[in-house]
Structure 1
């Protein structure tokens, strides 16, 4: 009976949404949404739109994986946002009960749910991890998020602020003789002896190259634009790239220099390993991009960014 009730509601909402668009049409990667007014009740099913909304000063009615969000994304999370559960399997019944007038998310996690989501409310899903051009995609998606919530001018201003910050960071690195210096961005999963290397096609790499650093890794990308190497592979990378700056994202105690199996070998190669904040988020919007650069400046220049 409960399922029949919700199926009826889904159908009723879908019928109400059919017909000509009386307002603004905004494209997304699975279609377009029609908005007759600025939405007041926005649900963010992924961390990227949640981060963007908070940066724009919009408090969503719901999000997903909210317990872990503050552990990675440094933007303050207001109280009272309903938690819909996991990003890959949000609670649709609870979402329906919250009566959102806009749903935002990621095609990779929520794309299969698009028919159900679009029957609840206008839904815009974006591919936040295209195979290339992730920095340009991040900027475009941020402006679309801003447009959808009536904050287009604020979004443009915030991107201009980011551009100024990146230019200043580039100048600081050049002044210290680090312009064009090769780097490897490494995320350690020490318990498995596996190291994720960010390829040039990742957002994090593109952001770091935007401030004048040069990604030394030319290997093939696997999932999410990452390559995976073992301890021997990491040592080989350092040996084959003399002077490379290793920007390390790892949990406390996971510094490869502290690993007796590879630490001595890395030291023999003169490895320059710079541990960054272990919760540095590499898949966010303009806010997280700035935090990533600030963290890189801190470890490369010493002290505060």
Structure 2
């Protein structure tokens, strides 16, 4: 009898939980969220969820580091979105005043703020840059973002389109005889005398290898799967790899060719240094992934 009563109580509790959370609970890297209905006031504290929501046609009421976002991501920000300041230290008073019903972000930047954020509104934080499997993580997190805002079917279609695009891009490279062509991907921070070289563990490298190129860098991965070299290391890198395609991402103020200590040496090498557009974001979602591949295909269009 007692067992039957316990079972009835458990079923009733489960029914209440499902009624309060009809879409089911959605897990994130620091817990889970339950949203009774698709949220109407979403705040994004990192560029990845901001990009994802814009791609899905959802207009966040606020975001962080919005001034720099257009310099890296080729998506227009909607008018009226509030800027909450830095991604690492957003304005929590302004955030609370906006009365959001969902907050999205990144464990690496906002993880320490999770207790405060979750008191303001349901909060989902994901680790976008795990030590390995960053492409699979990007796809998984995009679908979770889509599910949280009631756009799961639209999200699935976006990923299907990306998969088809990557397959077509790979076929295009094979048709040009560029399958397995070795490459290096470098992002320049010339003002700081630092150059990031992408290891095979990064999202950007996984995307380029998915279309048939081959990352030839063997350096040790540091933060975010990147290796870091200085100016001398960069020159040595391109000098020792004359047959390798070197894809270079550099904002105007960080272009190594404008550095009088580095530029002339780079020009003397026989390496094929192929600049990508400065607005090539290597840590984004499906939109930025497509832009990266399109930039690479454009850059190697004249390669023989």
TM-score, length basis structure 2 = 0.88
Unaligned runs of 5+ in 2: 1-15
How far the C-alpha of 1:209 sits from its partner, in A, is 1.0
Contact kept? 1:197, 1:226, Cα under 8 Å:
yes
Q: For the residues of structure 2 that align with 1:201 and 1:163, how far apart are their CA atoms?
A: 19
Name the SS for the 1:241 alignment partner.
coil
**CA distance in 1: counterparts of 2:267 and 2:101, whole angstroms:** 56
- Cα distance in structure 2, aligned partners of 1:107 and 1:290: 24
Q: Which residue of 1 aligns with 2:151?
A: 151
* C-alpha contact 1:34 1:122 (8 A) present in aligned 2: yes
Mapping for residues 15-94 of structure 1, pairs under 5 Å: 20=17, 22-23=20-21, 24-94=24-94
- TM-superposition CA deviations, 1:77-122 (whole Å, max 9, x none): 1101111111111111111111111110000001001001111111
1:13 is aligned to none
- Which position in structure 1 is the counterpart of 2:222? 222
What is the SS of the residue equivalent to 2:25?
Answer: strand
Q: Quote the residue 2:287 is aligned against.
A: 287
Other-structure match for 1:114:
114
Alignment correspondent of 2:183: 183
Question: Is the deviation greater in 19-28 or in 94-103?
Answer: 19-28
Structure 1 residue 270: deviation in Å?
1.3
Task: Detail structure 1 runs of 4+ shifted over 4 Å in the superposition.
Answer: 253-269
Aligned residues: CA RMSD = 1.9
1:254 and 1:279 map into 2 onto residues whose CA distance is 13
User: How far apart, in 2, do the equivalents of 1:254 and 1:25 lie?
Assistant: 44
Shift of 1:193: 3.0
1:244 aligns with 2:249: no
8 A contact 2:191–2:253 mirrored in 1: no
Report the alpha carbon displacement of residue 138 of structure 1 after superposing the two structures with TM: 0.2
The Cα of 1:235 is off from its aligned counterpart by: 3.1
> CA separation in 2, counterparts of 1:120 and 1:56?
24
Say whether residues 1:297 and 2:297 are aligned partners. yes
TM-score by length of 1: 0.88
